[in-house]
Amino acid sequence: MSSKKPLILATNDDGIQSGFLKALVKELAKVGEVVVCAPDGERSWIGHAISRNQKLIPKKVKDYIVSAYSLNGTPADCVNLAYGNLLPRTPDLVVSGINLGYNITLPMVLSSGTVGAALEGSLLGIPSIAVSMALAAEKFEGIRLSGGQELDPSTRKVLAHSAKASANYAKLVLEMHHHEGLTVHNLNFPSEYDGKTEPLIGFADHLKLGSLFQKEEGKRHHQLIYRTEWLEEAEPEVGSDLWAYKEGLPSVSRLDFSQLNGKSYLIP
């Protein structure tokens, strides 16, 4: 690395004002120059969606920790638009998060807007990290409704540890010599993380979630209902992100999306 500070593009899928994004940005600012481009509101479970017909308008956010823009688009939109229009040069790193709640096992990884933003960075040839933090089920909705702003002292402390560990991992990625494949470093921190353990390198587990949608009683529409028992009752493979979650350990899965191209089937 040169003496010039690395340029880091930060984003998320919970919205520009998320307290979890701000906690991450504060730590990343100790590593390099940070520019934020994030959705103007929550865009969860949207994966790597790119807006086709939406008229995207980035807006400068005043009184933010660093230079920041909100965008009326998806997390992947934020990365792509910032890359081509808002940044002074190609960023050295894309960091997406910290997500409210975990992003473990393939069904959630592939549906995650947090991971989708990091994937867009990787597709652009930029080393990319997605960061998520598990939350106790009874706390999740309240934290989500407050935009990650209203936290009890224990959750605030876990968030601080997770943000610091994420920045430390970002340093490691920046020190790597080159960017290989279409890798997304998918970090997950447990709900009681104390900052004493570095993320264990693992892999995304398989899991069948079943139907996500349930009809609202007395109404015509169906609503996405996430059932925590899907993970709680699953039998994880040792070394997987789900196994680490159940053990209360931080994990990182280095997801190589280039393996999706089908080339392995041509190798005898």
The confidence score (pLDDT) of residue 210 equals 84
Whole-number percent of the chain with pLDDT over 90:
81
Whether the bond into 267 is cis, omega within 30 of 0: no
What is the overall mean pLDDT for the chain? 94
The confidence score (pLDDT) of residue 3 equals 53
- Which whole number is the average pLDDT over 236-254? 96
140-193 confidence digits (pLDDT tens): 999 999 989 899 999 999 999 999 999 999 999 999 866 667 899 999 999 999
Q: Residue 124 pLDDT > 50, yes or no? A: yes
Q: Residue 2 — very low, low, confident or very high, per pLDDT cuts 50/70/90?
A: very low
15-62 confidence digits (pLDDT tens): 999 999 999 999 999 999 999 999 999 999 999 999 999 999 999 999
Contacts of 103 (CB under 8 A, 6+ apart): 109, 112, 114, 115, 130, 132, 186, 188
- Which whole number is the average pLDDT over 253-266? 87
Walk me through the domains of the chain, giving residue ranges and CATH numbers: 7-209+238-266 (3.40.1210.10)
The confidence score (pLDDT) of residue 1 equals 41
The confidence score (pLDDT) of residue 263 equals 81
Closest CA to 94 of 173, 204, 9: 9
**Angle between helix 153-175 and helix 19-28 axes, rounded to 10 deg:** 40
What pTM was estimated for this model as a whole? 0.94
